[in-house]
Structure 1
Amino acid sequence: MPVHPTDSDTLCGLDAVELAGLVRRRELSAREVVSAHLDRIERVNPALNAIVTLDAEGALAAADRADELTASGAELGPLHGLPIAFKDTHPTRGMRTTHGSPLFADHVPDEDELLVERIQAAGAIRIGKTNVPEFAAGSHTFNPVFGATRNPYDPARSAGGSSGGAAAALAARLTPIADGSDMGGSLRNPASFCNVVGLRTTPGRVPALPTNDLWETLGVAGPMGRTVADVALLLSAMAGPDLRCPQSLETPGAVFRGPLERDLKGLRVAYAPDLGGRVPVDPEVRELVARQVKVFEAAGAHVVEDCPDLDGAEDVFRTLRAQAFRTGLGPLLETSREQLKPSLIWNIEEGLRLTSADLARARTEHSRLHLASVAFFERYDVLIAPVSQVLPFDIDLEYPTVIDGQQQHSYLDWMRSAYLLTVLGAPALSVPAGFTGRGSGGCPPGEHSTDAGLPVGLQIVGPPRAERAVLEIGAAYEAATGHGRRAPSLP
Structure 2
Amino acid sequence: MDLSQTSAKELLNDLSNRSLSAEEVMRATLARIAAVNDQVNAIVALRDPDDLLAEARVVDQGENLGPLHGLPIAVKDLVNVAGIASTQGSPLFRDHVPATDDLLAARLRAAGAILIGKTNTPEFGLGSHTFNPVYGATRNPYDPALTCGGSSGGAAVALATGMLALADGSDMMGSLRNPAAWNNVYGFRPSWGRVPSEPTGDGFLHQLSTLGPMARSPEDIGILLDVISDPDPRQPNSVESSPITPVQTADLQGLRIGWLADWGGAFPMEEGILDLCQNALAVFAEMGAEVEEVPPPFDAERIWDSWITLRAWSVAAGLQPLTDRQAAFKDTAQWELEKGMALSAMDVHHASVARTEWFRCVVEVFQRFDVLVLPTVQVWPFAIETPYPAEISGAAMDTYHRWMQVVTPVSLLGLPALSVPAGFGSGGLPTGMQLVGPKGADARLLSIGAVYHAATSWPQKRPAM
Normalization by structure 1: what TM-score?
0.92
Deviation, 1:75, is: 4.8
Aligned counterparts, 1:33-112, within 5 A = 33-55=25-47, 56-69=49-62, 74-112=63-101
Aligned counterparts, 1:316-465, within 5 A = 316-333=306-323, 335-437=324-426, 440=427, 453-465=428-440
Which residue is equivalent to 1:444?
A: none
Residues 370 and 485 (structure 1), Cα distance of their counterparts in 2 relative to 1, 3 Å cut: same
In the alignment, residue 440 of structure 2 is paired with which amino acid? R
Q: How big is each residue's C-alpha offset from its partner over 1:360-385, in whole Å with a ceiling of 9 and x where there is no partner? A: 11122222222222221121110111
The question of 1:117 aligning with 2:111 is answered no
Q: How big is each residue's C-alpha offset from its partner over 1:314-339, in whole Å with a ceiling of 9 and x where there is no partner? A: 11111111111111002323x11221
**Is residue 316–residue 341 contact of structure 2 (8 Å, CA) maintained in 1?**
yes
Q: Which runs of 5+ in 2 are unaligned?
A: none
Deviation, 1:310, is: 4.8
Q: Distance in 2 between matches of 1:310 and 1:168?
A: 35
Q: Distance in 2 between matches of 1:310 and 1:21?
A: 48
Deviation, 1:46, is: 0.8
Which residue is equivalent to 2:209?
A: 219
The question of 1:481 aligning with 2:456 is answered yes
Which residue is equivalent to 1:257?
A: 245
In the alignment, residue 21 of structure 1 is paired with which amino acid? N
Q: Distance in 2 between matches of 1:398 and 1:420?
A: 24
**Is residue 58–residue 127 contact of structure 1 (8 Å, CA) maintained in 2?**
no
The question of 1:240 aligning with 2:233 is answered no
**Is residue 74–residue 118 contact of structure 2 (8 Å, CA) maintained in 1?**
yes
Q: Distance in 1 between matches of 2:325 and 2:105?
A: 28
The question of 1:229 aligning with 2:204 is answered no
Which residue is equivalent to 1:22?
A: 14
Flag as ranges the 4+ runs of structure 1 deviating above 3 A.
Answer: none
SS of 1:469 mapped into structure 2: helix
Q: Which runs of 5+ in 1 are unaligned?
A: 4-9, 441-452
**Is residue 212–residue 327 contact of structure 1 (8 Å, CA) maintained in 2?**
no
SS of 1:414 mapped into structure 2: helix
Deviation, 1:308, is: 4.0
Which residue is equivalent to 2:292?
A: 304
**Is residue 373–residue 424 contact of structure 1 (8 Å, CA) maintained in 2?**
no
**Is residue 160–residue 459 contact of structure 2 (8 Å, CA) maintained in 1?**
no
Greater mean alpha carbon deviation, residues 223-232 or residues 274-283 = 274-283
Which residue is equivalent to 1:448?
A: none
Deviation, 1:100, is: 0.5
- Report how many residues are paired: 461
Q: Distance in 1 between matches of 2:222 and 2:132?
A: 30
The question of 1:470 aligning with 2:445 is answered yes
Q: How big is each residue's C-alpha offset from its partner over 1:25-75, in whole Å with a ceiling of 9 and x where there is no partner? A: 211101100111011111210111101110123322331222122xxxx45
Which residue is equivalent to 1:295?
A: 283
SS of 1:295 mapped into structure 2: helix
**Is residue 197–residue 430 contact of structure 1 (8 Å, CA) maintained in 2?**
yes
